[in-house]
């Protein structure tokens, strides 16, 4: 529980009356202990890794609601705190599926898992036979004069794409144009049937051996196809970079050459391949139900209380999967027990600080299946879309070493970047933009579902400087624990860093909730267009 003492609280409230909103909140400090107590419950083996639609996630949700009731948070879902969502899960039946390449009538079968994975993120077609075209990064961005499809005939063909982007693209743009929705748009525009994506070896979070292990875990889509973003894709293959040379044989190009250019974010060539792909895809489908949880802290200002600062975090994780070192429960302590626990700390702390605007707390489901819960909420918001002034998302903020610097995703994009810079400064913490733009983190969590609807959003992590020991720890963590059973309660965490991070998030939230002016996208932000489209 949030560790407050009455004296600090009274001092805090008194100061709030005479000083700026930021001054008041920092009288109290989170100590990381209340946070860790919540993580211990949410990432317990009993929660079975909180897979979307699982009994384990339902138990974790019941626990969250119990805490919200204690804290006096009002329900703001459709059925109390719940916003139910109908999903369809998809799993590839590999015994009834196959993948092969052919050249001049000679067929080379591929080994599913070793050479490539048939992705179930899309509603894959039973049979695909089509020529292949190498489309570089697979990007078409007219305003930047980038067109990886220029001069290529791709209608009825499958695009081979190297994941990444040229250096002239900012992290935000790079992330945006590699999103599912943008890839789907490209297929619609060009009539291409789907894609084979080769992960950039320079920015792979997870080694292939572990990607391969998780391939038979079900993906999910919505039962309601009208909000599905995967578009017309009939096939989506993830190709092992180690097997990628097979794709380039006889083209005059090599995969090593492509990978070297991609590592340095240099422009890539694009050209037809001398190959066809032959895929047989057999999906096993099942109906699944899960829910977002939504609660609200009602604002104290009669005029501003009809506007909302959204705080979001995904509660779902990967559930039970292939065992690694004898452990099959993917507990998701950091991903995202950590952010879910932070929201519980905020639910206990923020009501006492009487924010002027209301605060909406959302624990979304289906994040690990492709941001499904947050996208559903954006399509079916339980408060008017225009009343949401900002989204502050927390996903896997990784307090695994001391907090010296805060990495902010979307730092230069909106006024929220200035707000968080000020909040961090009060804690003696400096901020930096994303040091790893190739990992696309700005679109890889739930803030993106808000950004697409024009709402300024931000996300952050306990940061590291390039070349520091912390960078090594971070990389080691991703390699060993990210989406592995070892992201559990036995890992070392830095409680002080977690507390400091929570102080910053709370102060940022209060600042946004109390500022008479709502945050805006910066005039030169790429993402401003989504707000303009909403007519704000
Ligand atoms: Zn995750």
7: pLDDT strictly greater than 50: no
Picking from 237, 260, 281, the residue at the C-terminal end of a domain is 281
d(CA 103, ligand 1 centre) in Å: 38
121: pLDDT strictly greater than 80: yes
Most confident of the ranges 1-5, 237-241, 248-252 = 237-241
Residue 24 within any structural domain of the chain: no
Give the pLDDT confidence score for residue 203 in this predicted structure: 84
**CA-based angle 30:479:168, to the nearest 5?**
90
Residue 294 within any structural domain of the chain: yes
Same domain, 82 and 134: no
Picking from 281, 312, 336, the residue at the C-terminal end of a domain is 281
Mean pLDDT of the chain: 92
**Orientation of helix 415-426 relative to helix 495-514, angle to 10°:** 130
Same domain, 380 and 401: yes
C-alpha 438 chain-centroid distance: 14
Same domain, 260 and 403: no
Query: Two tokens at 234?
Result: 């009939």
Residue range 426-455, pLDDT digits in tens: 999 999 998 887 677 777 789 999 999 999
Give the pLDDT confidence score for residue 355 in this predicted structure: 98
- What is the percent of the chain where pLDDT is above 70? 94
User: What SS3 class is residue 208?
Assistant: helix
Give the pLDDT confidence score for residue 1 in this predicted structure: 28
Give the pLDDT confidence score for residue 199 in this predicted structure: 95
Give the pLDDT confidence score for residue 16 in this predicted structure: 40
d(CA 336, ligand 1 centre) in Å: 7
Give the pLDDT confidence score for residue 27 in this predicted structure: 63
Answer for the pair 299, 284: CB distance below 8 angstroms, yes or no: no
d(CA 446, ligand 1 centre) in Å: 11
Domain count, the chain: 2
d(CA 317, ligand 1 centre) in Å: 6
d(CA 320, ligand 1 centre) in Å: 14
Answer for the pair 257, 136: CB distance below 8 angstroms, yes or no: no
Residue range 329-383, pLDDT digits in tens: 999 999 999 999 999 999 999 999 999 999 999 999 999 998 999 999 999 999 9
Same domain, 406 and 512: yes
Q: How far apart are CA 344 and CA 326, in angstroms?
A: 32
Same domain, 275 and 417: no
Residue 5 within any structural domain of the chain: no
- In sequence order, the 6+-apart residues with CB closer than 8 A to the CB of 303 are none
- In sequence order, the 6+-apart residues with CB closer than 8 A to the CB of 202 are 164, 259, 262, 263, 438
d(CA 53, ligand 1 centre) in Å: 16
d(CA 332, ligand 1 centre) in Å: 8
Q: How far apart are CA 508 and CA 529, in angstroms?
A: 24
Cβ count near 325 (within 10 Å): 8
* DSSP calls for 75-112: E-SSBTTEEEEEEEEEEE-GGG-EEEEEETTEEEE--B
Residues with CB in 5 Å of ion ligand 1: 335
Answer for the pair 356, 49: CB distance below 8 angstroms, yes or no: no
CATH number for the domain spanning 393: value is: 3.40.630.10
d(CA 217, ligand 1 centre) in Å: 14
Looking at per-residue pLDDT, the higher value among 319 and 214 belongs to: 319
Q: In what order do the strands lie in the sheet with 106-109?
A: 106-109, 98-103, 271-280, 127-134, 158-162, 194-198, 235-239, 116-118
Residue 64 within any structural domain of the chain: yes
Q: How far apart are CA 292 and CA 533, in angstroms?
A: 26
Same domain, 274 and 301: no
d(CA 250, ligand 1 centre) in Å: 38
Same domain, 47 and 164: no
CATH number for the domain spanning 139: value is: 3.50.30.30
Same domain, 85 and 103: no
Cβ count near 253 (within 10 Å): 16
3: pLDDT strictly greater than 70: no
Query: Two tokens at 149?
Result: 């499809």
Burial of 58 (0-12, 13-18, 19+ CB in 10 A): middle
d(CA 328, ligand 1 centre) in Å: 16
Domain carrying residue 144: 94-281
Cβ count near 342 (within 10 Å): 27
Give the pLDDT confidence score for residue 535 in this predicted structure: 58
Residue 23 within any structural domain of the chain: no
Same domain, 186 and 153: yes
Residue 1 within any structural domain of the chain: no
Same domain, 262 and 130: yes
Residue 467 within any structural domain of the chain: yes
Picking from 262, 281, 300, the residue at the C-terminal end of a domain is 281
Same domain, 159 and 136: yes
Residue 16 within any structural domain of the chain: no
d(CA 335, ligand 1 centre) in Å: 5
Residue range 477-506, pLDDT digits in tens: 999 999 999 999 999 999 999 999 999 999
DSSP-derived secondary structure letter, 225: G
Answer for the pair 233, 221: CB distance below 8 angstroms, yes or no: no
Residue range 37-96, pLDDT digits in tens: 999 999 999 999 999 999 999 999 999 999 999 999 999 999 999 999 999 999 999 999
532: pLDDT strictly greater than 90: no
Same domain, 364 and 319: yes
């Amino acid at each position: 529980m949030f560790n407050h003492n009455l004296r600090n609280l009274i001092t805090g409230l008194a100061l709030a009356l005479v000083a700026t909103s930021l001054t008041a909140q920092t009288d109290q400090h989170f100590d990381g202990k209340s946070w860790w107590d919540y993580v211990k419950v949410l990432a317990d083996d009993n929660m079975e890794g909180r897979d979307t639609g699982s009994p384990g996630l339902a138990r974790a949700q019941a626990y969250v609601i119990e805490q919200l009731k204690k804290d006096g948070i009002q329900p703001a879902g459709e059925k109390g705190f719940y916003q139910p969502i109908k999903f369809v899960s998809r799993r590839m039946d590999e015994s009834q599926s196959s993948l092969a390449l052919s050249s001049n009538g000679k067929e080379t079968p591929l080994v599913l898992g070793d050479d490539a994975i048939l992705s179930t993120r899309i509603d894959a077609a039973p049979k695909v036979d089509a020529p292949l075209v190498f489309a570089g990064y697979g990007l078409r961005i007219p305003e930047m004069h980038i067109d990886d499809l220029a001069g290529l005939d791709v209608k009825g063909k499958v695009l081979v794409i190297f994941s990444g982007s040229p250096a002239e693209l900012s992290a935000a743009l790079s992330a945006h144009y590699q999103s599912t929705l943008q890839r789907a748009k490209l297929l619609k525009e060009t009539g291409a049937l789907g894609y084979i994506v080769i992960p950039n070896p320079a920015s792979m979070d997870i080694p292939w051996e572990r990607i391969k292990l998780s391939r038979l875990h079900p993906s999910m889509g919505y039962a309601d196809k009208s909000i599905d973003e995967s578009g017309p894709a009939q096939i989506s293959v993830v190709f092992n970079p180690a097997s990628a040379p097979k794709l380039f044989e006889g083209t005059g190009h090599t995969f090593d050459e492509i990978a070297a250019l991609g590592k340095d974010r240099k422009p890539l060539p694009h050209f037809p391949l001398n190959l066809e792909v032959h895929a047989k895809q057999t999906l096993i489908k099942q109906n699944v139900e899960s829910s977002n949880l939504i609660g609200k802290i009602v604002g104290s200002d009669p005029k501003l209380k009809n506007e909302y600062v959204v705080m979001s975090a995904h509660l779902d994780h990967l559930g039970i999967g292939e065992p690694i070192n004898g452990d099959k429960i993917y507990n998701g302590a950091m991903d995202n027990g950590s952010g879910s626990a932070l929201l519980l700390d905020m639910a206990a702390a923020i009501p006492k600080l009487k924010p002027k605007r209301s605060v909406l707390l959302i624990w979304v489901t289906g994040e690990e299946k492709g941001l499904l819960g947050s996208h559903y909420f954006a399509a079916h918001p339980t408060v008017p879309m225009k009343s949401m002034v900002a989204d502050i998302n927390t996903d896997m903020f990784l307090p695994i070493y001391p907090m010296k610097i805060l990495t902010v995703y979307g730092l230069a994009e909106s006024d929220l970047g200035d707000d968080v810079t000020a909040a961090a400064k009060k804690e003696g913490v400096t901020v930096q933009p994303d040091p790893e733009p190739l990992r696309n983190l700005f679109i890889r969590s739930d803030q993106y579902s808000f950004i697409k609807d024009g709402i300024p959003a931000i996300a952050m992590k306990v940061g590291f400087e390039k070349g520091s020991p912390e960078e090594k720890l971070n990389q080691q963590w991703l390699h060993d624990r990210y989406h592995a059973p070892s992201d559990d309660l036995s890992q070392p965490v830095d409680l002080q860093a977690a507390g400091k991070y929570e102080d910053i998030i709370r102060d940022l939230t209060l600042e946004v909730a109390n500022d008479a002016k709502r945050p805006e996208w910066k005039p030169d932000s790429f993402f401003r267009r989504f707000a303009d489209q909403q007519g704000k």
